[in-house]
Each structure stands twice: as structure tokens, then as C-alpha cells.
């Protein structure tokens, strides 16, 4: 019942009666908020599998460990919403790998996913990271040691 699909380059996909193709098509509607390009075109979808019982698992991997966490969260949450909306998908797990805020982002999306369906509750999560998790040497500091909002 399962067959390989024509997935974007670099994406491992397992199709169950074409459902993984539909899931990948749904993921192509998710755009990087900074680059305004689909995450599938940018190669951010590391894998996409759908089990025989309709459980979809998507792994995302961004190009650098320090991609902006707010943009990373938006892409993971949008990917979850897109896959959840696919008819025939019974369950969804979308996870971000190899990012400095992966644990917080994945936990936020999982908590949101367990609380309600995307159509019922808009995303209102924020992620607070300890200051020590953000190496300040990575950022230019034009206004002094304390940026507004940090």
C-alpha cells in the first residue's frame, strides 16, 4: 500500500495511497516569513512520512542553528496547521531539529496542538528564552548592552 513519492530534492517521503504527496503539497503553502519562499523550495523539510493509519510526521531543519526563533516558531506552527488541515491525516507531529531553540519551539507547538484545533484558537504563544541561550556576540549592538524589548 505504500510507495515512494516524487518529493522535493532532499526530502525523504513515504506515501500511503498518495497522502504524503498531499501533505507535501500542504507544506508547500508554508512560507519562510523572512524570505517569502515555500519551506519545501528552500529545503527546510528534512522528512515527511505518513503511516498506514494516517499519522503524519514532519521534520524541519533550517539552514543555520541560529535562525531567528520567532520565524522558526512561525514555520513550525504553520506547518502543523497545514498538515492538520489535510483530509485523511489522523494525527500530526511536526518537529524542528538542530536549532538552538528546538526544545522550546517544539514544546510550544505541541502544547498548542494538544489544547485545541488550529481553526478554534489562533496562535498566541510566545517563547521566552533565558538570556544565556542567546550568544550576544552574534548580534550587532548599536544601542548599547540593553536593546529595547530584550
Domains and CATH numbers, the chain: 2-120 (3.30.300.130)
Whether the predicted model's global pTM rises above the 0.75 cut: no
What HEC string does 24-73 produce? HHHHCCCECCCCCCECCCCCCEEEEEECCCCEEEEEEECCCCCCCHHHHH
* φ/ψ of residue 136, rounded to 5: -65, -20
pLDDT at position 119 is 47
* 92 pLDDT more than 80: yes
Strand partners, 29: none
121-142 mean pLDDT: 51
- pLDDT in the model for residue 88: 93
Residue 129: pLDDT over 60: no
Q: Is the pLDDT of residue 68 over 50?
A: yes
Q: E strands along 90-133, which residues?
A: 91-97
18 pLDDT band, cuts 50/70/90, is: confident
> Which cell numbers hold the place of 138?
552574534
Question: Whose grid coordinates read 512560507?
Answer: 31
Longest dimension (CA), the chain: 60
**Across residues 11-33, what is the average pLDDT?**
80
Amino acid at each position: 500500500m505504500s510507495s515512494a513519492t516524487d518529493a522535493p530534492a532532499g526530502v525523504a517521503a513515504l506515501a500511503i495511497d498518495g497522502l504524503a504527496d498531499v501533505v507535501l503539497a500542504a507544506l508547500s503553502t508554508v512560507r519562510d516569513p523572512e524570505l517569502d519562499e515555500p519551506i519545501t523550495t528552500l529545503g527546510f523539510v528534512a522528512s515527511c512520512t505518513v503511516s498506514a493509519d494516517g499519522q503524519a510526521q514532519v521534520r524541519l531543519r533550517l539552514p543555520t542553528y541560529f535562525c531567528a526563533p520567532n520565524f522558526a516558531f512561525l514555520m513550525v506552527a504553520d506547518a502543523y496547521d497545514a498538515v492538520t488541515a489535510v483530509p485523511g491525516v489522523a494525527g500530526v507531529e511536526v518537529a524542528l531539529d538542530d536549532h538552538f531553540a528546538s526544545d522550546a519551539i517544539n514544546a510550544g507547538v505541541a502544547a498548542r496542538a494538544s489544547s485545541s484545533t488550529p481553526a478554534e484558537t489562533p496562535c498566541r504563544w510566545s517563547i521566552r528564552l533565558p538570556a544565556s541561550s542567546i550568544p550576544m556576540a552574534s548580534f550587532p549592538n548599536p544601542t548599547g548592552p540593553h536593546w529595547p524589548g530584550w
